[in-house]
Structure 1
């Protein structure tokens, strides 16, 4: 079962080279499971006991499974993100070099490990806006062949490369697209050919490089998986699977997947936007509830902020805390930080530990070394818009923000199990000091 779930995850990732494709895959899965699409620009007619989803920017998605008995309800929210570090093509992308080569002009998106992008097959994916009369139509693009590559400088010309090298994204990391036969405008022609449209009708694009290396299952006992974009599509996939399997009549279950976490979440579709607030508030109103009902619901609501965590590195165990450190294939990770870069606190950790115990899932605890500044995630950003009890969790992995990351084959299954347990549960604040968790 571990291998089966991980292979499903890897298949999902292969079909999701960008956030746009990941959300498109989620929409397909939700529709296959009976979810109806809502549009933000239209009036919502929703009913208890029904299932819905809504997208923003085609790169963020929120799905809703409404219980049938919502007299005293709360929200069960699992949040993850759809984006990963990569390189984005600039508007005027083609650069000629001595009339012999054509490079593509790119800029970094997020904090990637630059060295991992060299000397491997890459291609281009994203969205393209095409004008059709008075309409601007979004087309998904995935060029499904080895198309570009970022070549390293030979060690003979860069003798100190193994002593540490500061990569310049405008100089060192531009991908090679073509040779002498490549002419200006060929990129647009290729895009138009892929989409079956006229070059003149292409208005704009959001296009990115993606790693063409196939995901793999490996290790002495096939205990590891490696793939692009495990951070954070592993959590997005497992959260969605648990969401589809779980339900509770007294709760509104919410699956939220936000874009732009890797660049701060401060966009209209990021965790720092009003997207989650807008959706929850509109649901409350469409159900005939008032403001008082909404704030009472939030008081009993709970979020699992799911974003991957750093496993102990076999070559550098000193990089992690001495005893709040985690290992692949040993369970779901709870992340905590005294400065609240993570949302976990005593209350939320207790509830999550209880969920893991009921699900039969092992749980681990991660904290940064006290002398190292760690990263943050989307939970505390989202809390600025919609406040509720929240715990930051994730799955242990190596090489976070490499273009080819590694995780444990068992942990995908573990996360699905505890997510299902969460979405089967009803959480209620019965007293200032008591949270009650029931099925």
Structure 2
């Protein structure tokens, strides 16, 4: 039964990733699921009249959804699962149609910190949003259109001794051949969106691998897909929140906060370092006519589960990991710990997470970096700093993080959804 449930979860995760080739699509796909579950969409520019119920707001490529039970008050606090919708890759530049020597190419800029070599020789789509002269916004996604071709070994005999890619000259994908005057990458995007390309006034367009997620390996125990960092967490939180909304019984407001631009440092209006979460928390508190004192008490009663993918021990590079803490796939989500607060977990948060996992029947494992290999960071420390609430950093273990195609165990995303459900209802 557990294996069947995990496989069903993975199949649904694969579908969510397939419908979310950009952060804007990830927010829209989440909104579609929330609509189907009876959540009410709110417009930030309108006046809100909140009562007990389920709500969500989309801001660009971010979405925040919450369930407000009948039993909560101005001092009840929030249980927030934080995640992010963006992933490393390439973003379309201004004047994006380029090319040379009979090839049509797309001018792209590196977005975040991708493993560049993993994007070579792979069919890619373009996806994101187009803004027309009338101010209307249209999501768009092409069919498989692009490829970054690698130089043949016959022309670089030393390539297997170390591949070096120049970000400007070696990463421009091809999308056609012939007379360059006939090439028009924005025309391709306009056709996919069903709009007039002459009306495009702005765009945020990124690459995404065309290949769908796939279960593989002995016993079908592994899952490979693009954008597992961090749609695996967004999806787990979304599934858990929708499930919780069917029977909201907790003593707090349950919330999913899926931010954009984490891979760039989160400093944007839709990023975790921006005001989005704080503004929504204060608008919700206003619906209770909460005083400053009551809001401070609510925040002191709040906790954030910062869910972002982490590292499984790599069998070919075991020396890059801590010798005592060696996370495995299919052994449960990671509790991420760092002495320098690159992760926000403290002892109280760690104990709370252990309790939620035990109540949910979910195993978990601790992650800490090798002292010679500094770790990255997450939205956790940003949320703890900006809002002042206790934060616990967690996430599923991956191999090939920031690759165009990452890998996890089949069970771990399901485990993360399970403990997230317990967290929302605790």
TM over 0.5: yes
Q: 1:19 aligns with which of 23, 29, 41?
A: 23
Q: Provide the residue aligned with 2:154 in structure 1.
A: 156
Q: Provide the residue aligned with 2:366 in structure 1.
A: 365
Q: Provide the residue aligned with 2:9 in structure 1.
A: 5
Separation in 2, partners of 1:96, 1:321 = 46
Post-superposition shift, 1:162? 1.2
Q: Provide the residue aligned with 2:84 in structure 1.
A: 81
Q: Provide the residue aligned with 1:32 in structure 2.
A: 36
5 Å-filtered alignment, 1:14-413, equals 14-47=18-51, 49-57=52-60, 59-71=61-73, 72-98=75-101, 100-132=102-134, 136-143=135-142, 145-184=143-182, 186-246=184-244, 247-413=248-414
Separation in 1, partners of 2:190, 2:6 = 41
Structure 1 counterpart SS, 2:231: helix
Paired residues of 1:66 and 1:249 also in contact (CA < 8 A): no
Post-superposition shift, 1:186? 2.2
Post-superposition shift, 1:249? 4.2
Separation in 1, partners of 2:36, 2:198 = 36
Paired residues of 1:78 and 1:254 also in contact (CA < 8 A): yes
Instruction: Output the TM-score relative to the length of structure 2.
Output: 0.96
In the superposition, relative to structure 1, how do residues 165 and 249 fare at CA in structure 2: closer, same or farther (>3 Å)?
closer
Separation in 1, partners of 2:213, 2:13 = 10
Paired residues of 1:94 and 1:184 also in contact (CA < 8 A): no
Q: Runs of 4+ in structure 1 displaced over 4 angstroms?
A: none
Post-superposition shift, 1:124? 0.8
Higher helix share goes to which structure? Answer: 2
Separation in 2, partners of 1:249, 1:102 = 56
Separation in 2, partners of 1:36, 1:279 = 15
Post-superposition shift, 1:296? 0.1
Deviations 1:377-398 (A, max 9, x none): 1110122221111110000110
Post-superposition shift, 1:35? 0.7
Structure 2 counterpart SS, 1:183: helix
Post-superposition shift, 1:26? 0.5
Post-superposition shift, 1:185? 5.2
Post-superposition shift, 1:181? 4.3
Paired residues of 2:104 and 2:183 also in contact (CA < 8 A): no
Q: Provide the residue aligned with 1:435 in structure 2.
A: none
Structure 2 counterpart SS, 1:3: helix
Post-superposition shift, 1:15? 0.8
Separation in 1, partners of 2:236, 2:183 = 41
Separation in 2, partners of 1:287, 1:184 = 59
Deviations 1:164-195 (A, max 9, x none): 12211111110012111453552232222222
Separation in 2, partners of 1:55, 1:198 = 26
Separation in 1, partners of 2:401, 2:195 = 38
Structure 1 counterpart SS, 2:155: coil
Separation in 2, partners of 1:193, 1:187 = 10
Separation in 1, partners of 2:62, 2:118 = 27
Paired residues of 1:126 and 1:140 also in contact (CA < 8 A): yes
Paired residues of 2:383 and 2:389 also in contact (CA < 8 A): no
Separation in 2, partners of 1:249, 1:337 = 30
Separation in 2, partners of 1:259, 1:41 = 20
Paired residues of 1:68 and 1:250 also in contact (CA < 8 A): no
Structure 2's unaligned 5+ residue stretches are none
Instruction: Output the TM-score relative to the length of structure 1.
Output: 0.93
Separation in 1, partners of 2:212, 2:92 = 23
Q: Provide the residue aligned with 1:428 in structure 2.
A: none
**What number of residue pairs does the alignment pair up?**
418
Post-superposition shift, 1:155? 1.1
Separation in 2, partners of 1:268, 1:384 = 17
Deviations 1:144-171 (A, max 9, x none): x221111001112112211112211111
